[in-house]
Amino acid sequence: MRCEDARRRLLAHAWDHEASRHLESCAACFEAMESADPLSHALRGARPDDVLAPAGLADAVLSRRPSGGRLAALWAALVAVSFAAGTALVLLGGAGPGWAAAGIGGLAGGIAGALAPVVAVRDILLAQPAVLTVFGAVTLAACALWLRLALRPPVWRIAR
């Protein structure tokens, strides 16, 4: 469609799909239509003058932004997943606390002592699989919520 035909159809206030498509792809026609629109002139006249931002505003905004957010969230997620995997091995796999301390040497007693409560919980939960399933579902939901909040923290607005 030629520019003159598209402008004539659009200025006639008739809905024309072909003319509208031409307007989307032709910058000259868009400028001509916008300059003929009285609302565009009124909006340009009502727009306030450009004002320079106060000195130091950009630095203040950037200083409030957390640094290394994605890397820290990835690292925390990796630690959480490894802890969850180790706990799952102890709870579901029937492994004793000695498996984690096997290759560590001097820390074996400390790790075995730290995992003793987990083994006790495992022994209780293995006797009741329904409770274990609910516990696992709640744990997964909490981890999913935590990961979502870590990757996209909410933006809080101050009430006025």
* Tens-digit pLDDT string for the chain (160 aa): 788 888 888 777 767 788 888 888 888 888 888 888 888 888 888 888 888 888 888 888 877 766 666 777 788 888 888 777 766 666 665 555 555 545 444 445 556 667 778 778 777 777 887 887 888 889 889 988 988 888 877 776 655 4
Whole-prediction pTM value?
A: 0.29
Q: Is 19 helix (H, G, I), strand (E, B) or coil?
A: helix
Contacts for 20 with CB less than 8 Å, ≥ 6 apart:
10
- In terms of domains, do 120 and 81 share one? yes
Count up the domains in the chain and report the number.
Answer: 2
Residue with tokens 């809905």: 15
Asked if residue 92 and residue 38 are part of one domain, the reply reads no
Residue 93 domain-assigned (yes or no): yes
| 30 plus 71 within the same structural domain | no
Domain that holds residue 83: 67-151
Q: Do 38 and 111 belong to one domain?
A: no
Residue 156 lies in a domain: no
d(CA 152, CA 105): 40
Helix, strand, or coil (residue 1): coil
